[in-house]
Amino acid sequence: MKFTIQKQISLFLLSAAGFCIAADAQSYRLPGAHTDEHRDLIAAQENIDNRIKVENTQQFLDNLFKEEEEPELDIYTEGWNSKLVNPYSSIDVPDSKVIDVSNFVMPHPGYVTSPYGYRRRFRRQHKGVDLKVHIGDTIRAAFDGKVRLTNFERRGYGYYVIVRHTNDLETVYGHLSKFLVEPDQYVKAGDPIALGGNTGRSTGPHLHFETRYMGYPINPSAIFDFANQTVHTDTYTFTKKTYQQARNYDPAANSEYAKAYQAEYLKNHPQPERATAVRSAKQHNTYTVRKGDSLSRIASRNGVSVKQICRLNGLKTTSTLRPGQRLKLR
């Protein structure tokens, strides 16, 4: 009996050791200074009482993907000018590539209104993230590089810019209102390249932002931590197995950042523009349900959580909404 117990303990320890080795092989290495900076940002934001459980987060994302507007056609494969847009279709792409992303600038400080991911309702992938912008906001180059294409896609991204960067990434900026650059122009990280807008297949002002490696649409949340306006690490390792995965995308953190962004926007806009914005913000304390609305759609577009809407209005996540119904948002 004693031998059997010892044998079981040994097998358990060997299994645990194997698991740790496997996990370590998949872990990311962070430079010391950047690690400390990112840890401080996360620690300052974290609220132990308001953590969202993993299953609730997944349910939130599933509902968001299901109810969202149909994503744009992929200009790299389906757009009118796909032959011009995707120069990598006949090139072998390496299985792994370490990419330096330390010299970055956030393309716009807006919060995420639609994350990257598969939309089961439409059987289509949303291959970027949508960031909140106001028409006329400045859009900036995320890294150093050269403008490869400026174009218009009526069925998809509207006016869009593609920049090829010195770190081998390409970034795509869609639904713009005006170009500030032209093809073959060299830009530095942070240079203005366009103004935000609402062109193409868009139901409201936002920036559709993509990060690509040789045509592969990397999840931007694998590189950028949008809630903290930084990058996760100074390098990103592209692999064909993991490029669609995010790192630490948290709807709760995004919602908190959305509130801070909206408050800063009101603070920085002078009269009478600010007064108009304040009136608009007060109106958005409530929301009138329209045909086709869902809790997840209302939450994502107003920078609040489904849980908060349910709590304020005595609803369940499965409750049916009626057109004309007024909901408290804050």
Can you give the pLDDT at residue 21? 44
Tell me the per-residue pLDDT of 106-125, one tens digit each, with 9 for 90 and over. Answer: 999 999 988 898 877 767 78
Element (DSSP H or E) covering residue 306: helix 306-313
Q: Are 129 and 276 in contact (CB under 8 A)?
A: no
pLDDT of 70 strictly over 60: no
pLDDT of residue 125: 84
Q: Hey, how many other C-beta atoms are within 10 angstroms of the C-beta on 272?
A: 8
CA distance 88 to 214: 6
pLDDT tier for residue 23 given thresholds of 50, 70 and 90: very low
Q: Does residue 215 or residue 90 have the better pLDDT?
A: 215
pLDDT exceeds cutoff 70 at 99: yes
Percent above pLDDT 90 for the chain: 37
Q: Flag whether pLDDT at 19 surpasses 50.
A: no
Q: What is the pLDDT of residue 161?
A: 96
Cβ burial, residue 174 (10 Å; 0-12/13-18/19+) = buried
Separation CA 176–CA 150 (nearest Å): 10
State the pLDDT at residue 282.
Answer: 45
pLDDT at 66: 42
DSSP class of residue 80 equals: T
Quote the pTM value: 0.63
Work out whether strand 224-225 and strand 230-231 pair parallel, antiparallel, or are unpaired. Answer: antiparallel
Least confidently predicted of 89-98, 127-136, 170-179, 213-222: 89-98
Contact 21, 27 (CB under 8 A): no
The predicted structure's pLDDT at residue 41? 57
46 token code pair: 């974290």
Which pLDDT score is estimated for 42? 52
Backbone angles phi and psi of 319, in degrees to 5: -65, 145
Average pLDDT, the chain: 77
Structure confidence at residue 240 (pLDDT): 93
Give percent of the chain with pLDDT exceeding 70: 67
Which pLDDT score is estimated for 24? 46
Question: Residue 85 to residues 58, 76, 105, 163: CA-CA distances in angstroms?
Answer: 33, 5, 24, 11
Q: Which has more pLDDT, 56 or 210?
A: 210
Q: Quote the pLDDT of residue 61.
A: 45
Model confidence pLDDT, tens digit, residues 238-297: 999 999 999 877 778 888 898 888 888 888 776 555 455 444 444 457 888 887 788 877
Q: 145-156, pLDDT tens digit by residue?
A: 999 999 988 878
Higher pLDDT, 330 or 228: 228
